[in-house]
Amino acid sequence: MDKMLFVGNWKSHKSKQEGELFFHELAGKIASINLAVQDIVIAPPFTFLDQASRLIAERKLPVTLCGQNVSSFPEGAYTGEINARQLKEVAEFVIVGHSERRRYLHESETDIENKVRESKEAGLTVIQCIQNEYDRVFSGTEIVAYEPPSAIGTGNVDTNENIEEVFAVVKKNNPHVRLMYGGSVAPTNIKALKEISNIGGFLIGGASLDVDSFLSLLN
Ligand code: PGA
């Protein structure tokens, strides 16, 4: 069986110094985690990715890095964009189609489809976020994170029954994807969420910003 993935999505949080403190604290506490059954992935801001990849190598941390976004274009004249080949230098995973980007940055289905294709071509593993069972899952996506917007950052975690229903539809149409859940995952509800059938991991926002709360989700 695949290991359970715990993906910490820091969103637009933490300076480089705060990121470094997090990694040092993590290094001191990681021995308490059973990594035979679970994997740690962290998606920090772009500004910290390079430093994070050095810290991981230096301290031999069992942590894999993830981009929170990627350009929908290949390399070229696209001011401000970080393309998939550049991201692959510092990360193995990428989050595509997060509802905050759909909402605040007006990301379209075409943008998301292009991001998945670019990422796949560069060798990144795509975690594509969907908001409900009707959102399209694009070819090249290996992991689907179901994240109902009403559950993100609100404390209103979705019910296991709803999550299982969405998973069933996604799995029927995309038999090979791994399924994750995200939205108010916290130390108080993780035990129940782990009971969801077919659950392959969690995308964690707020609770991933603090080492103790993040690690308490894993144990
Ligand atoms: P949350 O965010 O855990 O703070 O609800 C999850 C996400 O948006 O990935």
**Residue 182 parent element (H or E):** strand 178-182
Q: Tell me the average pLDDT of the chain.
A: 97
**Residue 1: predicted pLDDT:** 62
Task: Report whether 182 contacts 203 (CB < 8 A).
Answer: yes
Ligand 1 and 158: CB distance under 6 A: no
pTM: 0.97
**Residue 219: predicted pLDDT:** 78
Residue 106: C-alpha distances to residues 102, 103, 174, 191, 196 (Å): 5, 5, 26, 35, 31
Distance from C-alpha of 38 to C-alpha of 3, rounded to nearest angstrom:
5
Which residue lies with its CA nearest to atom 2 of ligand 1?
205
Ligand 1 and 145: CB distance under 6 A: no
- Please list the pLDDT of the chain residue by residue as tens digits (219 residues): 689 999 999 999 999 999 999 999 999 999 989 999 999 999 999 999 999 999 999 999 999 999 999 999 999 999 999 999 999 999 999 999 999 999 999 999 999 999 999 999 999 999 999 999 999 999 999 999 999 999 999 999 999 999 999 999 999 999 999 999 999 999 999 999 999 999 999 999 999 999 999 999 997
Cα of 141 vs centre of ligand 1, distance in Å, is 20
